[in-house]
Amino acid sequence: MLQPRVRFAPSPTGALHIGGLRTALYNYLFAKKLGGTFILRIEDTDQTRYVAGAEKYITDALEWVGLDLNESPNLGGNFGPYRQSERKEMYGEFGHLLVKNGWGYYAFDTEEELNKKREEAEKNKQTFSYNVHTRNSLRNSLTLPKNEVEQLLNSGADFTIRLKCPADEIIYVNDIVRGQVEFQSNLLDDKVMLKSDGMPTYHLANVVDDYSMKITHVIRGEEWLPSTAHHVLLYRALGWEDKMPHFAHLPLILKPAPASYINNKNVDSLTEKFTSEFYKKNPNFTLKPKQEVQKMIRGILLDVNNISSRVQIKNKDKEDKIIIKEFLKSTLFGKLSKRDGDRLGFPVFPLAWQGEKEDDSFIGFREVGFDPKALINFLAFLGWNPGTEQEIFSLDELVEAFSLERIGKSGARFDYEKAKWYNQQYLIHGNDEEIAQQLKSIFDQKGWYTSNKKITKIAALYKERATFLNDIPNKAAFIFSDGFSYDEKNARKKWKEKNAAKNYELIDILKNTTDFSPENLEQVIKDFITDNELGFGDVMSPMRIALSGVAGGPSLFDIIYLIGKGRTIDRLKKGYQYFENL
Ligand code: GLU
């Protein structure tokens, strides 16, 4: 196959949701697998939705996860500029070419005129569409006399250029993921291609750029599938049909399964949350008192395991029930939204984002403590699978294994527990020295100073017990600071008065021990226990509690080694005195 050229084409309208990052990832994997080119194109023609900082966010996110670009606004390339706002002069000509080719027309309808049509349609419970059925009764170059059209154009009247969708045709989109998808041309709207300010809409700019940048494959989210019918027509209209890229539409990312996060413990707080969301969405709902609404929501949430069958709406349901159930259906199922993260307590953005308003600020996977490699591995599996049991893949291994053919059609359910599992796997299999290096900067900030050798030991001991790197400092805090309390219940049980003298004797032995390596400590302590015919628990359990506050944790000898001689002696003395008085 020809080396592919693919583009990731986000609009800088805010932070990039993980769905967008997945699109970037699949484009990257596909390009790299075939030695192709991965391009970033910023689609910023709609200046009303432009958000400062969004482009930087996008490039920072790609950089953080290691998706290296070949061509981009910053890197340049042979097909630039790569920001649509810098290409705006290029599009007008193609808009007018549509009219010339008979594939487009000038529409002079004002916003008020169109709004009136919309209102009229609404009154009849219909939606107005500018299309093959309605265009002949609207004010455009298809209906107005030629001289009037010319006059309007010459007088500088506002106009848009619309795509003239053909009548009675089936438009085929051959999609790599979904197979052949058919669209009835009579149901398509005659979308605006060139706006009255001369700027292109997304559709025109997107197709013109894909063509001029020699894009071979368009890999993007499923929400763009319906637009693809128009894009196919545009390629035909502009005479580029033989250069049309292949399309692959990626499955939606769905909200997490309710059963994965609703439990008896949080059902009350979730009920409250959902109830207040319900009233926000349905402010005028008076069919039932609030208490009953709340009760019903709680009931449905409790039924979480078979919720999908229960939420089904039956015709005989009363209107109030229907409204509540519809609300829950859309709140519990369907597409993952950027608000779900806040609502359900997990990140849905790669990096934190500080929006203008409070509710437009989000935490990111990076800030929660995710390893970008784990995030990538997790995202790769949200809609794709290798067809084998293997779950852990480096980026290079993903490149090797990836194919568009193995992308699924059905929605991929977001599963935060799985994301955490991936992170844990990356920690467990991570290199101790590398983890230690990251830990060192955290420890330095806390004023916890110790040798690199000991930090590496901490990494080795605690990585297995952590989900995030940041869990390690929490778990290892006792090594550096005495500010922990004792598990008194266990201390009372394990501290035996009859062994007290022996326990103190061991402190003296440790005082006289110079080699504080875990191996030697093990030897010394075990010898002492056997020589004195004591039980291991009688000696080692009080030691553990005195040194760390709790009876569990990694090997005692490792702990003593890490805490060091001076602190160990002090803590044992202090602890034993405390236990004696319990
Ligand atoms: N600008 C569109 C977006 O923000 C791009 C869609 C496409 O890839 O064609 O998602």
CATH classification of 86-207+225-250 is 2.60.40.10, yes or no?
no
pLDDT(200) > 80: yes
CATH classification of 1-76+347-429 is 3.40.50.620, yes or no?
yes
The two three-digit tokens of residue 62, written as one number: 């790609």
In order of 107, 145, 203, the CA distances from 149 in angstroms are 10, 6, 25
The two three-digit tokens of residue 249, written as one number: 């539409």
pLDDT band at 326; cut points 50, 70, 90: confident
User: What digits encode the pLDDT tens for the residues 449-471?
Assistant: 999 999 999 999 999 999 999 99
pLDDT band at 264; cut points 50, 70, 90: confident
349 beta partners: 364
User: What's the 11 CA to ligand 1 centre distance in angstroms?
Assistant: 7
124: left (phi over 0), alpha (psi -120 to 50) or beta: alpha
Overall average pLDDT of the 401-409 stretch = 96
The CA distance from 214 to 220, in Å, is 17
Q: Out of 5, 38, 43, give the residue to mutate to test ligand 1, the one with the largest number of ligand atoms within 8 Å of its CB.
A: 43
H-type alpha helices, 495-564: 500-511, 518-531, 536-548, 556-563
The CA distance from 141 to 104, in Å, is 9
Lowest mean pLDDT among 108-122, 214-228, 260-274: 260-274
pLDDT for res 261: 84
Strand 253-254, strand 412-413: pairing = parallel
> How deeply is 118 buried, as exposed, middle or buried, from its count of CB atoms within 10 A (0-12, 13-18, 19+)?
middle
Lowest mean pLDDT among 207-216, 262-271, 538-547: 262-271
Lowest mean pLDDT among 184-193, 220-229, 270-279, 527-536: 270-279
Determine contact, residues 98/237, Cβ cutoff 8 Å. Answer: yes
Determine contact, residues 148/198, Cβ cutoff 8 Å. Answer: no
pLDDT for res 257: 85
User: What's the 248 CA to ligand 1 centre distance in angstroms?
Assistant: 13
Q: Out of 30, 42, 224, 235, give the residue to mutate to test ligand 1, the one with the largest number of ligand atoms within 8 Å of its CB.
A: 224
User: What's the 161 CA to ligand 1 centre distance in angstroms?
Assistant: 21
Residue ranges covered by each domain of the chain: 1-76+347-429, 86-207+225-250, 258-333, 432-480, 488-580
CATH class of the structural domain 488-580: mainly alpha
Residue of the nearest CA to atom 2 in ligand 1?
Answer: 10
User: What's the 135 CA to ligand 1 centre distance in angstroms?
Assistant: 28
User: What digits encode the pLDDT tens for the residues 496-537?
Assistant: 999 999 999 999 999 999 999 999 999 999 999 999 999 999
Best CA proximity match to 104, nearest among 169, 200, 172:
200
Determine contact, residues 384/369, Cβ cutoff 8 Å. Answer: no
Overall average pLDDT of the 293-305 stretch = 83
H-type alpha helices, 155-195: none
User: What digits encode the pLDDT tens for the residues 474-502?
Assistant: 999 999 999 999 999 999 999 999 999 99
Q: How many CB atoms lie within 10 A of CB 181?
A: 17
In order of 41, 83, 94, 218, 382, the CA distances from 214 in angstroms are 13, 16, 17, 11, 28
Determine contact, residues 297/216, Cβ cutoff 8 Å. Answer: no
**Ligand 1-lining residues (CB < 6 angstroms):** 9-11, 43, 202, 206, 220, 224
